[in-house]
Amino acid sequence: MGWTDERVELLKKLWQDGLSASQIAKQLGGVTRNAVIGKVHRLGLSGRATPSKPARTVFKAPRPARPVAAAPSAPRRIAEPVAHAPHPAPARYVDETPGTATVLTLGAHMCKWPIGDPSLDNFTFCGRRAGDGPYCHEHSQVAYQPAQAKKRSGPAELARSLRRYI
């Protein structure tokens, strides 16, 4: 079925009313949704009524509470500080032998050097007290090697590097 003048006018009216392309295709009959979309683009129909959208709720941060002005009736009484005897913190037992920490017991300041094969059940981490980084002093020395001094470039090194360009 072709696009007659009456069908094009009906298409324009339905498009301006905000109907979807599939709804217009059903009302016109004999055309597909894609045919309606193609005809709309060829006609250059862009000014379309927007479908109704539910209003989005905007959440605002609550305002801070206003300070309540105290009535200048009676002077306030300042309580004397109570001297509490400091309670000693419970001593935590930290095992300083390497290989005692698991993934579940590894803490923030414990050495994270892996010990063993990760695919085996007896895989552990060092677990000793870590220094500035993730490892204890001994494992830091293994992990962080000093930079090696570069080779001095002599005539032999210069000739070797120039051969790449010849």
Please count the residues of the chain. 166
Q: What is the largest CA-CA distance in the chain?
A: 98
pLDDT in tens, the chain (166 residues): 688 999 999 999 999 888 889 999 999 988 999 999 999 999 888 766 555 556 666 667 777 777 766 555 666 666 666 555 555 544 444 456 667 788 888 888 889 889 888 888 888 898 888 888 888 988 888 888 877 766 666 777 778 778 777 7
What single-letter amino acid sits at 21? Answer: A
The pTM is what?
Answer: 0.34
φ, ψ (nearest 5 deg) of residue 110: -110, 150
Q: What is the pLDDT of residue 23?
A: 92
Residue 136 per-residue DSSP state: -
Q: What is the pLDDT of residue 18?
A: 86
Rounded Cα gap, residues 59 and 165, in angstroms: 66
Cβ atoms of 27 and 59 within 8 Å: the answer is: no
Cβ atoms of 3 and 10 within 8 Å: the answer is: no
